[in-house]
Amino acid sequence: NWDVGVPALTTSLRGIVNCFVEVRTLDHAVHSGMFGGAVPDALTALVRLLATLHDDAGDVAVEGLVGREGAVVDYPEDRFRAEAGLVEGAALFGTGRITDRLWTKPALAVLGVDAPATGEAPNALVPSAKAKLSVRLAPGDDPKRAYETLRTHLEKHAPWGAQVTVTFEHDGDPCVIDASGPMFDAARGAFRSAWDGTDPVDIGVGGSIPFIATFQEMFPQAAILVTGVEDPHACAHGPNESLHLGEFARVCLAEALLLARVAEAGRQVG
């Protein structure tokens, strides 16, 4: 939902490409004092490579990924910072409206790194290091092409002649939903009633639900309603993921009303 007390209908979802990138500079670890200064360690090379994925403003710097503007609502920065939990002084990533950055432009994150833990790291140059990358793709992009674009970028920017190996993990298509027609009218009416007269907001979502794009392809005439009980404070995918019980009650009511109104709309169409 757009906020606690404000329901929403999802009209777009980003796609996803996850992969691993491994950097190797040595066939075995060597003494950092005896060889440091002339031999590049893999972890430093990996950090250098990962730094090429964004420009100075924080926009994704992988050439060829699709991005566009045009989100229909805006996200006030003070509200966004509070809901994201940004620490004091941390700047936002990227350029343009916040909703465009979240819904209609690509995002790239380093999800994890395989390297010696700091408490156990010896004084040795690391021979290889590995990172897991996740790219959220803007609506209109193609995951297979995007993966090849990312792989080419990583191989092209290998620092100091390091060996770079990119391994595909999984992907998923983005989608855009036409939120018009009698079924969506029924949904908006159900949400409006459950939220005491508050109109639902049409929003994009930066996350990915790949099966929806597959469903669109298989059933092109279907009206696809994407709704949920999550709100900006839910901490989705976090260890303290939660549910606003007041919103949950409204969603339960809205879904019951929706089923009744969809049945009525179906009778009218039929």
CA distance 182 to 266: 8
The CA-atom distances, in angstroms, between 200 and each of 10, 11, 194, 259 are 10, 12, 10, 17
Pair 234, 104 in one domain: no
| Category of 226 on φ-ψ map: left (φ > 0), alpha (ψ -120 to 50) or beta | beta
CATH code for position 64: 3.30.70.360
Beta strands in 126-177 (DSSP E): 128-137, 163-172, 175-176
Domain boundary (127, 150, 172) is at 172
Pair 117, 220 in one domain: no
Pair 181, 152 in one domain: no
20, 131 Cβ separation under 8 angstroms: yes
Residue 248 maps to a domain: yes
What pLDDT sits at residue 169? 96
Give the structural domain span for 232.
8-12+175-269
Contact partners, residue 21, CB within 8 Å, separation at least 6: 46, 49, 130, 131, 133, 154, 164, 165, 166, 167
pLDDT tens for the chain, residues 1 to 270: 888 899 999 999 999 999 999 999 999 999 999 998 999 999 999 999 999 999 999 999 999 999 887 767 888 999 999 988 899 999 999 999 999 999 999 999 999 999 999 998 999 999 999 999 999 999 999 999 999 999 999 999 999 999 999 999 999 999 999 999 888 999 999 999 999 999 999 988 888 989 999 999 999 988 888 877 787 788 787 788 888 899 999 999 999 999 998 888 777 765
Strand pairing partners for 176? 12
Beta strands in the chain (DSSP E): 8-13, 15-24, 30-31, 107-114, 124-125, 128-137, 163-172, 175-176, 201-205
Residue 122 maps to a domain: yes
Residue 193, both tokens: 């009633």
Domain boundary (172, 189, 221) is at 172
Pair 125, 20 in one domain: yes
With CA atoms as reference, report the closest residue to 186 among 250, 265, 253: 265
Pair 91, 29 in one domain: yes
Contact partners, residue 185, CB within 8 Å, separation at least 6: 265
Number of H helices, E strands in the chain: 8, 9
Cα–chain center distance at 242: 19
Question: Coil, strand or helix: which one is 136?
Answer: strand
Residue 249, both tokens: 């009650």
Domain boundary (172, 202, 232) is at 172
CATH code for position 258: 3.40.630.10
Residue 2 maps to a domain: no
Residue 3 maps to a domain: no
Read off the pTM.
Answer: 0.88
